[in-house]
Structure 1
Amino acid sequence: MKKKIIAMLLIAVMIGIALTNFVKTKIAEEQEVDALANSSLANSGLAVGQMAPDFELETLDGKKVKLSDFQGKKVILNFWATWCPPCKEEIPHMQKYYEKFAKEDNFEIVAVNLTNKDKSIEYVKEFAKTYEITYPVLLDTEGKQMKQYKIRIIPTTFYIDTKGVIQENKPGPVDQDSMKESIKSLD
């Protein structure tokens, strides 16, 4: 009888040790994943304080537009793709904010579609119609601006002041409140 009790206690202790090690391993793995994700987010895009590199791309209707065309205005420069769920989530917020405050707050949204990673230009045009996007959508057909701006996560949004200097770099989706706060900080 005593041998059975001792054996059962020994088994219970061994199970407890195994569970403790399992839990510690899982926690360590989660911390490692979080650290990696945070370092990736921190390294997505150009640094705050840099001049925003100028570029020229075509709009959905074939006009050539340069980023420097918006000099003197605050710019929300957004990199996105049609297949990206967080991008789809933020577009209505961007559109509503643009309609309400663009003139009042002297800003422009410039949305750079990563066309080289998307289905086709025609698909992007249909997508923009469906989402009723009225701000400029530029087509990065070769992926040059994605490389130039060091985009690793989409969406990534840069807030650029009236002098062309990057004041904020936000990987991940934005909403109206965060845009309003970021635009106000550019004053």
Structure 2
Amino acid sequence: MKLQVRHDRSSGRIKAACAFVSLTGLLALPMGSALADSKDGTFPTAEQVGGQVYIDPVAVGQKLPTDFDTYDMNGQKVDLGSVVQGRRSLVVFFISAVPVSVNELAAIEDFTQKNAKGINLVMVNADTVGAALMGGPKAVIPNSVKTMHFIKKEKNLKTTKIYVAPNDALSADGVSTRLGIRGLPTSFLLDEKGVVQKVFVGPQKWKKGDI
């Protein structure tokens, strides 16, 4: 089926968003870049990510992958598939380290409340808060959850479900690599079976009928 991806606002804004993404390590980067994997100092090979360094994004007509580790606002592991199962959903992937990504959350919630009543709005932070000086690896999820509570309060998000999905952008199995995320936030409109109907990349000028 034809990929329907909407980039909005301006090409400059999208380029800026992508620049933020690159700086924070969300996107898979080409071989030979200066950054290194935290485990062995190497990037995934093209073969490891399906023969391409930049894999094709999840497209309209495909089922959204949900089989990666996801945690709720209590730090408990949840099945993201069950969160969207049987409900028309808008799943928004963002990272807490990028302001343009976080700032869009309130706009999305406001739009869906006014123009898409009944939609199951799910926001997923594909990022974690560094814990080297904050309790070590075991504190990653608790600290990330605290950040989500802070964001929810700061942005006055009232009804949105927010989850944390730890992402290793340099891994072939990382959330951003598997979904082929190209900008922030990336929002997938799903039908009741979890199949992608539309993809929205970057901040949007939301209008009635989009969802």
- Please indicate the TM-score interval, normalised by the length of the shorter structure: 0.5 to 0.7
Shift of 1:46: 0.8
Shift of 1:109: 1.2
Q: Which residue of 1 aligns with 2:119?
A: 107
Shift of 1:115: 1.9
2-structure distance, mates of 1:175, 1:128: 22
Match among 62, 73, 76 for residue 50 of structure 1: 62
Q: Which residue of 2 aligns with 1:158?
A: 188
Is 1:135 matched up with 2:149?
no
2-structure distance, mates of 1:163, 1:131: 30
Compare CA radii of gyration and give the structure with the larger one. Answer: 1
Tell me which of the two structures has the higher relative contact order, counting C-alpha pairs closer than 8 angstroms and 6 or more residues apart.
2
2-structure distance, mates of 1:77, 1:167: 11
Match among 74, 80, 91 for residue 88 of structure 2: 74
Say how many residue pairs are matched. 141
Q: Which residue of 2 aligns with 1:182?
A: 210
Query: TM-score, normalized by length of structure 1?
Result: 0.62
Kept after mapping to 2: 8 A contact 1:158/1:166 = yes
> What per-residue deviation string (whole Å, max 9, x for no partner) do you get for residues 12-37 of structure 1?
xxxxxxxxxxxxxxxxxxxxx99xx6
**Structure 2: where are the runs of 5+ without partners?**
1-10, 19-54, 131-142, 169-173
Q: Which has the higher helix share?
A: 1
Give the share of equivalent positions with the same residue, in percent.
24
Q: Which residue of 1 aligns with 2:99?
A: 85
Question: Relative to 1, partners in 2 of residues 1:61 and 1:90: Cα closer, same or farther, differing over 3 Å?
Answer: same
Kept after mapping to 1: 8 A contact 2:148/2:162 = no
Query: TM-score, normalized by length of structure 2?
Result: 0.56
Match among 61, 67, 70 for residue 74 of structure 2: 61
Amino acid in the other structure paired with 2:209: E
Shift of 1:100: 3.6
Amino acid in the other structure paired with 2:80: K
